């Protein structure tokens, strides 16, 4: 498995501002993912972050709104830019681990409220 931490755990932000969420994992991993969970909803994949390359974004998500960094194999950041109340969600990072039975393990999430 993997031990994943996220900072901050929660935040309340004003519209128009930006927030950077950090994700730290206890071992080196190739693939990291960022998900959004809107209130009462399931998880939606925002992007895949691989070290040494640009993040790959899913349909409906763009780099200008959700820039991602992946400076090394244990760390990634997601920035939510120019926030609006619609960005109020839980943001979760996950990592893929395992050989032959690759499994995603999730961090505790960052709960964001935009006023």
Binding interface with another protein (CB under 8 A): 1, 4, 31, 33, 41-45, 48, 92, 94, 96, 100-109, 111
Tell me how far, at minimum, the Cβ of 11 lies from another protein, in Å: 15
Residue the block writes with tokens 């499994």 = 103
Nearer residue to another protein within complex by CB, 75 or 106: 106
Closest to another protein by CB, 61 vs 106, is 106
Residue 100 to residues 86, 96, 97, 103, 109, Cα–Cα distance (Å): 38, 11, 9, 9, 27
Q: CB of residue 78 vs another protein: minimum separation in angstroms?
A: 15
Question: Minimum distance from CB of 112 to another protein (Å)?
Answer: 14
Q: What count of residues does the chain have?
A: 115
Give whichever of 14 and 52 is closer to another protein, judged by the CB atom: 52
Tell me whether residue 76 is exposed, middle or buried, using C-beta atoms within 10 angstroms of its C-beta: 0 to 12, 13 to 18, 19 or more.
buried
């Amino acid at each position: 498995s993997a031990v994943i931490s996220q900072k901050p755990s929660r935040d309340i932000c004003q519209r128009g501002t930006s927030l950077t969420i950090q994700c730290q994992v206890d071992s080196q991993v190739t693939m990291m993912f960022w998900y959004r969970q809107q209130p009462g909803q399931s998880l939606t994949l925002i992007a895949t972050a691989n070290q040494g390359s640009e993040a790959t974004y899913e349909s409906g998500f763009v780099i200008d709104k959700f820039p991602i960094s992946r400076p090394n194999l244990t760390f990634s950041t997601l920035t939510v830019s120019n926030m609006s109340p619609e960005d109020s969600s839980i943001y979760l990072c996950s990592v893929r681990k395992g050989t032959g039975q690759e499994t995603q393990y999730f961090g505790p999430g960052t709960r964001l409220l935009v006023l």
